[in-house]
Amino acid sequence: MNDSVRTSSQERHAALAEQLADQFSDKGCDVISQLGEVTLVIPSEYLIEVATELRDAENFLFKELIDLCGVDYSGFGQSEWVTTSASGTGFGRGVEAGKAARDDHPTDFASVYHLLSIANNLRMRLRVYLDSEQPLVDSVVGVWRGADWFERESFDLYGILYNGHSDLRRILTDYGFMGHPFRKDFPLEGNVELRFDPEKNRVVYEPVTIESRTLVPRVIREDNRYLQPDSDEQDATDA
């Protein structure tokens, strides 16, 4: 991308951020403009009203919903890995995660929408924070028909409920699946495992047998400071 195109894109997104702030600040919306991207944070009670205006207003015309997804912010900013140093033997060591500030993410869950305006050649993001105990938000299928399966996927993987959706069923996991696998409190090894039982001639579910553990990645360094000398070379050196 050349400088003139990049500057033009930055100017258009800066103008979009200003328009969003002027038009929706009275509804408690916040505008975040960083790295050439614009995000509008909307209180859940105004989602449908704001989304409809973004779709229909001539200065926006965001008629295309490119993507919709859930986000789990629980544990945001925390890490159980040492990332700035490692032991001399070439192994990184796990450390106990600490408590991180959560000011930017007041709840555990959010529903995120990625929009495209073909007429105005603009992209933007909507974000709605949800209640941690009961993540519920109005369905936008009436605004963007393409949200149908996206909302089902978000419900399946994160347990976010979309009020008014006509067919909010699981779409990726099995019929009898328990829990929501993209939530951070869902065990990586799962809760059950399945296999085909030749005696019963069907698939059976059993408690998972994989042991839960924290993996420590090995770091291989191509550096002679960490290489062990061959025995012949060591003998020659000693002599």
State the CATH number of the domain containing residue 167.
3.30.460.80
CB atoms within 10 A of CB 86: 16
pLDDT digits (tens, 9 = 90+) for 115-155: 999 999 999 999 999 998 899 999 999 999 999 999 999 99
22 against 96, higher pLDDT: 22
Q: What is the mean pLDDT of residues 7-23?
A: 89
d(CA 20, CA 31): 7
Q: What confidence tier does 203 reach under pLDDT thresholds 50, 70, 90? A: confident
Whether the CB-CB separation of 40 and 124 falls below 8 Å is answered with yes
Phi-psi region of 48 (alpha: psi -120 to 50; beta: other; left: phi over 0): alpha
Our count of domains for the chain comes to 1
215-225 tens-digit pLDDT: 556 665 566 66
Burial degree of 230 (CB within 10 A; 0-12, 13-18, 19+) = exposed
Q: What is the pLDDT of residue 232?
A: 56
Residue 57 has pLDDT above 50, yes or no: yes
pLDDT at 106 over 50: yes
pLDDT at 38: 96
Q: Which domain holds residue 226?
A: 3-238
What pTM value is reported for the model?
A: 0.75
Residues 84, 105, 9, 116: is their CA dihedral positive or negative?
Answer: positive
